[in-house]
Structure 1
Amino acid sequence: MCSPTERLLWARLSAFAGSFDLAAVESVCTDLQLPTGAVVGPLIGLVDKSVVLRLGNRYQLLDTIREYGAEWLVELDEAATVKHRMIAYYRSRLHQFEERFLSSDQAPLHKALLPDHENLRAALEYAHADGELLPMAAAMWPYWLCSGQPAEACHWLDLALARQPEASPERVRALQWASTFAALQGDQATAKRLAGEMREQAGQLGDPRWTALARMCAGQASGFLGECDEAVADLSVALDELHLVGTDLDVALASLRLGRVQALGGRAEAGIAVLSDVTRLVGESSKESYIQGCAYGYMTVAHLAAGDIDAAERTGRRVVELHDLRDGVLNLGVTLDAVAWTAVAQGRHQRAALIFGGVDAPFSLLDQRRALGNPLLTKLHEQALKAAGEALGSGQLERLRRQGARLPREQLVAFALSQNDTPPNVPAQPKSTRTNGLTQRESEAAALIARGMTNREIAEQLVISKRTADAHVEHILAKLGYSFRSQIVASMADERCRDESPAG
C-alpha cells in the first residue's frame, strides 16, 4: 500500500534507533531523490498507514518495522550513506552545544538532545563501524557531562582512543575528556595516566593550550585523591597558561577545578574566592547550569568546613536550582547530599534523613560511590549520617530514608528548596512492581533490555528467533504503556534500586 517514495523514506528512517523529529528526518533522510521540501507528504503517509508512530512532535518506528526497513536500506545500497548523514547531523548539534556551553542556552540545548539519546548511541555505533568514532566521541562531552554519564563516556572514549593511537588535536581533545570522566567515575589512577598521555601528545603537537589542559586534568585527579598541594600547583600553573592561550570555557573549567581542590582540601577561604571568580566569569545573571552549579556546590562544602552554616544553606539552595535546570542526576545527587549535611549541622535531622533517602537510588542507579570517593566529602557524609542516626535512632533514620526514597524527583527537589522538615504527601510503598504483569519470558527479556542488549542479542541469550524477541519487546512496551526501550531500562533500574538500596 506504500508508494515508492514512502517505501524509500521507511528504509531511510530505519537508521534512527529511537524517536526522531522532522528536522532530523530532513537532515538524515533527504537528497536529490527525496528533497527536503518533499519529505512531509510521505512521512504523513507512513503515519496514516501505521508504519510510523506519531508521538507529539516526534515520530518512531517499532523495532520489527525498523528491522524490516533496515533490510531494504541494505538492498538499496544506501545504508552507509544514510548512516554517514546521521553521524554528521548529530555531530553538528553537539558542536552547537559545545559552542554555547558557557551560556544560558546550555540547559535548553541539553534538554533538546535528551529525546535523541538512543539515536546518539546509534550514531556512535555507526561511527565506530566506519572508523569515525574519535571525532564523534570527542564531540559528545557536553552531553555526557550535563547528563552525569561518566561510565558511558569512558566506554566510548576508551574505544575511540584504542582505535586511533596516533597524536592529533582530536585525540588530545578526547584524552582530556576521557581523563575528566575517569576522575568523575572515581578512577583517579586512570585519570592521571590519561592526563600524562595527553601531556605527551600535546608536546608532540607543540600546542601550549593542550599542554595546559593536560596539566589541568592531572591536577583534577590529584585533587580527587586528596593530594592538595600537588593539585593546587598543577591547576594554578594551568590556569595562568590558559588565561594566555585558552578559551573562556578553558579558564572556567580550570578555575572551577582549582576552587574545588581548595574547598575540599581545607583551604575554604581561598576556595570560595576562586569559585566566586568562576560565577563572575560566567555571569551571575546567566542561566548556565553546570559550571555555576558545581561552583556553588563546592562553595557549600567550603562554607560547611568553615562552620558558616547560613552561607552553606544559601549556596546549597542556589545549586539545587541550577542543577535542576537540566537532567543531571549525578550532580543533583551530590548537591542534595550537601543540602542534607547542612540540615544535620542545623540540627534538622528528620529533614536530612529524608533527603539522604531521596539520593540513595540515583547513586545505586549510576553505580557510583557516595561522595565520588573524595576523602573530605566521604568524611562529611559519614559524619552527617552518624549524627543523624544518633539523634533519631537507627530505626527512625532508616524509616525516614525509606520515605525519602519514595519521593518523585520533582517533589524531592521542591522539598530540598523549601524550609520544611516534613515533605507533604509522601507516597505509599507500592505493593507490586510495574513489571509484575509480564510473563516469565517477558520479564527475562525486560531484564536483558535493562542490560543494554539488542533484540538480536536477546534472541541469542534466550535461544529464540529474532522475530520472537521482537514480539516480546513489543508486548512489553504495550503492557507497560511505554514507547521507548529506555523507559524499560529506567523501570527495571528503579525496581533494582528499591530492592537493593537501604531504602528498600
Structure 2
Amino acid sequence: MKGFIPQETTSFVGRGPELARLEGLLAARRLLTLTGAGGVGKTRLAQHAAVRLAERAPELFPDGVWWADLAALDGDDLLLATVSDAVDLSDHSPRMPVEALCAWLAGKRLLLVLDSCEHLVAPVARLAGELLAAVPGLSLLATSRRPLECDAEQVVEVAPLPAGAESLDLFTQRVADQDPRAPAADGAAAAAEAICRRLEGIPLAIELAAAQVGPDTSVADVADRLGSRLKVLARDTGFVWPRRHLTLRATIGWSHELCAPLERLLWARLTVFRGSFDLASARAITAGGPLAADDVAACVERLVTQSVVRREGARYRMLDTIREYGREWLRELGEEERLVARHTDHFLALARWAERSWPGSDQIHGYRLVEEANTDLRTALDHLAGSDPERGAELAGLLVFFWTCCGRLKEARAALERALAGPVPPGPARTRALAALGVTLTLQGEYTEALRVSDEAVHAADADGDKEGRFGAAYLAGLLALLTGRAEDARRTVVGALTSAPGFAFDSPARLRCHLVEVFARTGLGDLERARRDALELGVHCEEIGEVWTRSYLDYQLSLIALFQGSPREAAARARTMLDAKRQLGDAFGIALGLDLLAAALAADGEAEHAVRVYGHGETYWRSVGHPQRGTPELLGVREEYERATRAALGDDGYDRAYASGASSAAVPVR
C-alpha cells in the first residue's frame, strides 16, 4: 500500500453506516471535513476509513493515502513543512513552499488526511484551497472541532456512538483489553449499559470508564461512582458547558481523581511534551520532589492502563483533550514554568549529545532520536526564541545537520533565520548558527546569499578563536566552492583549516566534514590516486566505529573514481553500498545522487536498459527534493555522457519506455 497511515493500536468498534457514507463521499467529493467535539472519535473514524479505502479501493487513489498530524503545531509557521513531510516531499529548492508542494503532487491521485485542524482553521482552509485548485487528482479529508468553511467543503458531523449495542461493544472490548481473562459478573451487562447511557456514547469517555474496571472494581462499582460524579458536577459546576463537553470533562476529572497522587502529578508534568516521548525523556523531565525517577516507568504504565496515555511501540503519547486537562493542573500546581524550562534543557542536551555522537557508532541512533523528538525540539526552539536567544541559536545550529539529512531545509532555514534575527551576542553559538544557515542556503542552490553568509561566518570564527567554529566555517566555504565548480578553492580552504589545528579526523563532526570536502576536491582536480587513498583510509575508520553518513559519501567518491578509472563493476558495487547507507538515513538527496551514479556504472558495463530504468527511478527522488538533477560538476558530466550513450544504444523509443518504467515503479532492482 502506497502512503502512510498511523497504525491502529486498538480494535475499531462500530460506525458501519458512517464508514459506508465516508467511502461514498470520498469517491465523489474532494474536500470532506469530519467535525465534532473532542473525544467523539473523529481521528479514529478518519484513520479507519482511510485504511479501509486504501485496502478496498486502491484504484481510487493509486498514489496512496497519506496522513498529516497537525495537533502539535502552535501556529501556521510549520504547516506547509508538516504537510510536505507527510507526503514525502524533501524540498531542497528555494521555491515558495506551497509552489513546491503543488509541483510534487501534480499528476498524482491521492488522499491526504489533515488531522486536528481546529486551532489552524484559517491557514488550513487557505492551503486546502490552493492545493485543490492546483492538483486535480488530490482529495482532502480533514478532522476538526469546527468546519474549515472552504468552498466545496462537505462537512460531516461525527456523532457519539449509539447508546445501545455499539457503545456497549466498545466498553466491553476495552474492559477485555485490560484483562482478557476477567469473567463477566452477574449484572455487569446492565451496569455497562448504564455507563454507556450516562456517558452519551462518547468514545473517549467510555474508554476512560472501562479503564477503571479491575480486580477490585466491578463494572457495577464504576457505574455507581460515575453516576454520583456526574450528578455532583452537573449541580456544582459554575461553567456553562455544552452537555457532551460536560460529560467528557466529568469523566476525565473522575479518571484524574481515581489516579494515585504520583500518577496525577505525572499526568500534569507529561503535558509539557507536544509529541510522543520515551521513558528516558519522561524520567529526565518529570522526576523530582515526591516523584522519584525510579517511579516514572511504573506510573506511566498505570496511566496507560487507565487510558490517560497511549502506547506507540516504545514511545508514548497523550491525546489533546487529556493533555489540555492535565495542563490546567500543571498551572494550578505552579509548576508550568519550571517544567517548560526542564523540557527545554533536556532537548537542548539531546541535541548536543547527538551532535557529539555524529562521527561514531551512535550516529544512526542519535539521528533517529532527533527525528522522533522533532516536535519537542521545535517546541524548545520556540521557547528559547523568547527566553534565551543565544541558546536558541545554539540549538538551531546543532539541529541543522539532522534537518538537512532528512530534507527539512525550509524548516532549517526558517529556524536559523529566526534565531539569528534575535539579540544573539557574538560568540560560538552565533558563529555555528551562521555556518549552519550557509550550508542550508548552499543546499538550496542560493549560492550568492550563501557566499555572503559564508564570509560572515569565517570572520566570526576568526574573531571567536573557536576551533570548532573555524572547522564549521571552513566546511561551509569548501562545500560552496565544490558546488560552484571551484575545486582548488575548496581544497585550499579545508586543508588550511585542518593544518592550523592538527588532530584525528574523527575528533569532531565539523573536522570530519572538512576531510570529506578534501576528498571531493581532489577528485574534482583529477588527483584520483590521492583522493582514492584518502577515501579508503577514512572509510576504514568509519567501518571500525560504525559511522554511516561520511562513509556513504566516501563510497560515492570511490564509485566515481572507479568509473573514471575504467572499473564500472567496482563503481556499481560502491554505489550500491552508498544507497544502502542513504536509505538508513532516509536521505532523499543522497539516494538521488547514488542512483545516478549506479545508472552510469551500469551503462558503462553495457547494461543500457537497466541503467535507464535506474535513471528514471532516480528522477522520482530528484522531484522529491525539488531540484533538477544536480551534484558536483564532475558527476554532471558523467550523467550527460552516459545518458547520451544509453539513448544511442536503445534508440529514443526504447530509452523513453525504460525511463518511464523506472519513473513509475515503486522500486527498481539495484543489484
TM-score bracket, normalised by the shorter chain, equals 0.7 to 0.9
Report the equivalent of 2:32: none
Match of 2:291, SS state, is coil
Q: Where do 1:341-420 residues align within 5 Å?
A: 341-372=600-631, 374-405=632-663, 407-408=665-666, 412=668, 415-416=669-670, 418=671
* Alpha-carbon distance, 1:385 to partner: 3.5
Shift of 1:111: 2.8
**1:32 Cα deviation after fit:** 0.7
CA distance in 2, matches of 1:156, 1:86: 19
Counterparts of 1:209 and 1:111, CA distance in 2:
24
Query: C-alpha distance in 1, partners of 2:582/2:383?
Result: 32
> Which residue does 1:90 correspond to in 2?
347
Q: How do 1:13-92 residues align onto structure 2 when only pairs under 5 Å count?
A: 13-92=270-349
SS in 1 for 2:381: helix
SS in structure 1 at match of 2:311: strand
196, 211, 236: which is aligned to 2:455? 196
Q: Call closer, same or farther: CA 1:74–1:398 in 2, change over 3 Å.
A: farther
Corresponding residue for 1:261?
Answer: 521
Q: Quickly say closer, same or farther: Cα 1:238–1:283, change in 2 above 3 A.
A: same
Aligned residue number for residue 174 of structure 1: 433
1:199 shift after superposition: 1.8
2:208 corresponds to = none
Q: Which runs of 5+ in 1 are unaligned?
A: 419-504
Deviation at 1:405, TM superposition (A): 4.4
Q: Residue 70 of structure 1: CA displacement? A: 3.7
Match of 1:105 among 351, 362, 372: 362
More helix by share: 1
Letter in 1 for 2:549: Y
- CA apart distance, 1:181: 2.9
State which drifts further: 382-391 or 287-296: 382-391
Which consecutive residues of structure 2, in runs of 5 or more, have no partner in the other structure?
1-254
Structure 1: which amino acid aligns with 2:294? G
Aligned pair in 2 of structure 1 residues 226, 26: CA closer, same or farther (>3 Å)?
A: same
In 1, Cα distance between the equivalents of 2:469 and 2:298? 49
In the alignment, the residues of structure 1 paired with residue 475 and residue 368 of structure 2 have an alpha-carbon distance, to the nearest angstrom, of 29
* Largest Rg, 1 or 2: 2
For residue 361 of structure 1, what is the amino acid of its counterpart? T
Query: Given residue 283 of structure 2, which amino acid in structure 1 is its aligned partner?
Result: E
Q: Matched residues in 1 for 2:467 and 2:347: separation?
A: 30
- Cα distance, 1:41–1:212 mapped onto 2, change above 3 Å: closer
TM-score, length-scaled by structure 2:
0.56
Equivalent residues of 1:87, 1:136 under 8 A apart: no
Identity of aligned residues (%): 26
Offset at 1:319? 1.8
Note if 1:187 corresponds to 2:446: yes
Cross-structure match for 1:275: 535
The alignment partner of 2:544 has SS state of: coil
Q: Secondary structure of the residue that 1:54 maps to in structure 2? A: strand
- Deviation sequence 1:45-103 (CA, Å, 0-9, x none): 33233232112222112334334444444454433322222222222222222222222
User: What is the CA–CA distance in structure 2 between the aligned matches of 1:228 and 1:83, rounded to whole Å?
Assistant: 47
TM-score, reference length from structure 1: 0.73
CA 1:396–1:159: 2 relative to 1, 3 Å: farther
**Structure whose residues are more often strand by fraction:** 2
Residue 339 of structure 1 is aligned with which of 575, 589, 598? 598
Supply the AA of the counterpart residue of 1:388: T
Cα 1:18–1:81 shift into 2, 3 Å: same
Moved more, 242-251 or 226-235: 242-251
Amino acid in the other structure paired with 2:531: G
Match for residue 414 of structure 2 among 148, 155, 162: 155
Displacement of 1:340 after TM fit?
Answer: 1.4
Distance in structure 2 (CA, Å) of the matches to 1:107 and 1:179: 24
CA distance in 1, matches of 2:539, 2:471: 22
| Cα displacement (A) at 1:213 | 4.3
Separation (CA, whole Å) in 1 of partners of 2:478 and 2:642:
28
Letter in 2 for 1:378: L
Amino acid at match of 2:603: V
Question: Is contact 1:97-1:109 (8 Å) kept?
Answer: yes
Deviation at 1:189, TM superposition (A): 2.4
Instruction: Please say which of residues 219-228 and 395-404 is displaced more in the overlay.
Output: 395-404
My pick for the range that moved more, 194-203 or 117-126, is 117-126
Root mean square deviation, CA, Å = 2.9
In structure 1, what is the equivalent of residue 384 of structure 2?
Answer: 127
Rate the CA distance shift 1:126–1:231 in 2: closer, same or farther, 3 A: same
Structure 1 counterpart of 2:630, one-letter code: A
Partner of 1:448: none
Shift of the 306–222 alpha-carbon distance from structure 1 to 2, 3 Å rule, reads same
Q: Secondary structure at the match of 2:546?
A: coil
Does the 8 Å contact 1:268/1:303 carry over to 2? Answer: no
Task: Quote the offset at 1:260 in angstroms.
Answer: 0.9
**Within 5 A, what are the aligned runs for 1:228-239?**
228-239=487-498
Contact 2:287 2:293 in 1 (8 A): yes
Find the aligned partners of 1:392 and 1:225 in 2 and give their Cα distance. Answer: 33
Q: 1:351 to 1:74 in 2, by over 3 A?
A: farther
Q: How far has the Cα of 1:226 moved from its partner?
A: 0.2
Q: Contact 1:275–1:295 (CA<8 Å) still a contact in 2?
A: yes
AA partner of residue 136 (structure 1): L
Q: How many residues align?
A: 411
The 3 A distance-change label for structure 1 pair 166 and 360 is same
Q: Which moved more, 1:180-189 or 1:72-81?
A: 72-81
CA 1:350–1:27: 2 relative to 1, 3 Å: same
The amino acid across from 1:199 in the alignment is V
Residue identity matched to 2:593: V
The residue identity in structure 2 corresponding to 1:210 is: G
Q: 1:29 to 1:158 in 2, by over 3 A?
A: same
Give the secondary structure class of the aligned counterpart of 2:418.
helix
Take 1:209 and 1:152, find their aligned partners in 2: how far apart are those partners?
A: 24
Q: Secondary structure at the match of 2:619?
A: helix
Q: CA deviation at 1:207?
A: 3.9
**Alpha-carbon distance in 2 for matches of 1:208, 1:57:** 39
